[in-house]
Amino acid sequence: MCIFCKIINGEIPSKKVYEDDDVLAILDISQATKGHTLVMPKKHYANLFEIDNNVYLKVMAKAKELALKITEKENALGCNILNNCNEAAGQSVMHFHVHILPRYKDDDLKLEFIDHSKIYDLDNILKEIK
């Protein structure tokens, strides 16, 4: 059983932010920024590619609601909503979850998008992915 399923079952303790029949939100143990929260389905789906659409919509709607609440309560300036899908993208726990990362001035979180537009041709990419 995965570590988040153990948390959902109560075998491992967690700091619960929100819970209903389908969704659990807990404080991320790492607190990459203050209030860093994970929102997940109670049913196990390995990742974004596996999760049922209806469950996904429930998790994302709750993530949006909690993002607003946490940002306001912590007096944050904004937030990032992040999902890592597969190890190559940084996923370390293979149970679908969304990170809520409240953002603060000088908070030290680095999510840098480097401009590679000179390397990749947009029209070629369109042909490949459409």
Catalytic residues: 97
CA distance 94 to 114: 27
Q: Is residue 44 at the binding interface for Zn ion, with CB under 5 A as the rule?
A: yes
In this chain, which of 36, 95, 97, 99 binds Zn ion, going by CB under 5 A? 95
Exposed, middle or buried by CB within 10 Å (0-12, 13-18, 19+), for 38?
buried
In this chain, which of 4, 36, 63, 70 binds Zn ion, going by CB under 5 A? 4
Closest CB to ligand AMP among 12 and 125? 12
Question: Among 21-29, 47-55, 60-68, 106-114, which window interacts with ligand AMP (CB under 6 A)?
Answer: 21-29
Closest CB to ligand AMP among 86 and 125? 86
Q: What is the smallest separation between the CB atom of 33 and ligand AMP, expressed in angstroms?
A: 11
Please state whether beta strands 78-82 and 98-103 pair in parallel, antiparallel, or not at all (unpaired): antiparallel
Closest CB to ligand AMP among 76 and 100? 100
CA distances from residue 101 to 19, 20, 70, 128 in whole angstroms, order as listed? 19, 21, 9, 33
Closest CA to 95 of 84, 110, 80: 84
